[in-house]
Chains A and B, each alone.
Chain A
């Protein structure tokens, strides 16, 4: 359907949360490059209630109308049976499964000491448990065929830290643990797993931005405004699609970030400042020595806007201006 040459042509992909935001942009982009797309979305409207035209069906309709190949799935990723069902549906519909994109996510903000346990569980179940269920079902298929690729949405909110989001931060760092596991366990079988930390503009980010405006300097707020302007979901889609494609065959177990026209390579959590002892550790020795030895190497209690404290350089696309 497209003159653009891509290694994604003919591949089959599952995208969770594909009905809106980044997920929708990824579905449309990958279909345009010739991939068969299973669009999973729970089927709630923008207002959050049940809508007559479900989000997944709308995206599938758009893809098919443009000459592409797609099927809809409206199961909740939090349903443990959904992972297996989606893999089976992809195999039945397309005869193959090559890529899984764990994108579905929700947000429930609140300071830790005030957060209802239901908000903790809800975010963990959608953003982490859901990704584990689908990854597990897909792993069995990928191991059978000795090929496959995962792309998982992590977030700077988990990698760097974020206030009022212990639930989201735990889920998004947990996703990194999931991705490292898949990369380590299944990499030798020809299966790849990578994370993407996208920065984009959506209802989700508007919510978090509004909640933090009072914490930011005017300069930081302006940087954030420009970053959001540069970061429409359509800019994330090529990066996410690339990570799932054979063109990224050299990447496994990595964390890539994207914001507007910028691309980031993230480090892994890893030992930075070591101390050795032949006779073992005692509390008095640590009390005398450790604070001084470690102070220069402490990771500050910073948040996303402290680390990304510059506005992205505008790109040439009209949406970047």
Chain B
């Protein structure tokens, strides 16, 4: 067998996501952790892939969320993904490139009730991932993978991460996917579904009429777990 894939995982000392690194190792990869305050990675160990993790998210109806806790979660999750991703990307750029995989919570994307923190941070992480894919192509790939952090889903994600990190995953970048123990979904991203033109400009009445014409095509908000 060829040399094991080297997969760096952002450190999550506690919480439901902390078990993922062990599952990736069990799937056959060599694992190292990168602390949130890391400024560099081991000189002799250039990773094939880097996995960034979400922080645990509070759940509450949006108006009842604690704003200080929201801000702390946003800082911890988004700034860490940005900063560590940069450190790893610079190292990968010096070598043969690599893959970055942003793990997000499935209650944020596709979404669930009372999961506002998760939704805002998951969507923002997907936006970061897409931007990385565009900026650093073709050497560095970046994808977003949504799941719930139960044991069976972590095992499924570990297999997917090994796929994305390896040669067969070379065509996957800028994508959003979701995985459960039995389902694997590639996502369509937001694009115009319908286009309308009004040569007299738009006003309240003409806009209301246009929206009424579009009503059969309005995307529906997914309910809890429905999309998967």
- Residues of chain A touching chain B, judged by Cβ–Cβ distance below 8 Å, are 4, 6-8, 33, 80, 111-113, 115, 117, 120-121, 124, 128-129, 132-133, 135-136, 139-140, 142-143, 158-167, 169-178, 180-187, 235, 238-239, 241-242, 245, 247-248, 250-255, 257-258, 261-278, 280-283, 285-288, 290-291, 294-295, 297-301, 303, 307, 312-317
Contacts and interface: CB of A to CB of B under 8 A. Distances in A.
Contact of B182 (A248, A270, A278, A316): A278
Given A113-B136, A281-B184, A298-B186, 5 more contacts: A166-B127, A177-B121, A181-B116, A254-B219, A261-B198
20 contacts: A112-B136, A129-B74, A136-B62, A159-B190, A159-B191, A172-B127, A176-B123, A177-B122, A186-B63, A235-B202, A242-B207, A247-B208, A248-B208, A264-B193, A264-B194, A265-B194, A268-B219, A281-B159, A299-B188, A316-B201
Contacts of A235: 201-202
B103 interface: no
A255 B218 CA distance: 9
B56 to A, nearest CB: 17
A257 B196 CA distance: 10
Given A161-B130, A281-B159, A287-B168, A269 B109 contact: yes
Closest 3 CB pairs of A and B: A177-B123, A173-B127, A174-B124
B202 A263 contact: yes
Most buried by B among A112, A242, A290: A112
A177 B108 contact: yes
Contacts of B149: none
Contacts of A124: 74, 78, 124
Contacts of A297: 186, 188
B204 A245 contact: yes
A242 B202 contact: yes
Contacts of A4: 203
Contacts of B128: 166, 169-170
B8 interface: no
A262 B214 CA distance: 14
A257 B115 contact: no
A121 to B, nearest CB: 7
A173 B174 CA distance: 14
Interface in B66-100: 67, 70-71, 74, 78-79, 82-83, 85-86, 89-90, 93
A184 B221 contact: yes
B174 A299 contact: yes
B171 A295 contact: yes
B119 A178 contact: yes
Given A112-B89, A253-B221, A263 B207 contact: yes
A270 B187 contact: yes
A159 B189 contact: yes
A241 B208 CA distance: 12
Contacts of A252: 221
Question: Would you call the interface of chain B mostly helix, strand, loop, or mixed?
Answer: helix
Contacts of A183: 221
B22 interface: no
Given A263-B207, A265-B217, A316-B199, A274 B79 contact: no
| Of listed A251, A268, A275, residue having the most chain B CB within 10 A | A268
Contact of B160 (A136, A241, A281): A281
A170 B62 contact: no
A34 B167 CA distance: 61
A111 B135 contact: yes
A181 B115 contact: yes
A261 B111 CA distance: 33
B147 to A, nearest CB: 11
B127 A242 contact: no
Contacts of B191: 159-160, 266-267, 307
B168 A132 contact: no
B156 interface: yes
Contacts of A169: 127-128, 130-131
A291 B168 contact: yes
A290 to B, nearest CB: 6
Given A136-B63, A272-B187, A165 B131 contact: yes
A274 B215 contact: no
B198 A271 contact: no
Contacts of B184: 274-277, 281, 290
Given A128-B124, A174-B120, A265-B218, A280 B182 contact: yes
B110 interface: yes
Contacts of A267: 188, 190-193, 219
A238 B198 CA distance: 13
B200 A247 contact: no
Contacts of A288: 168
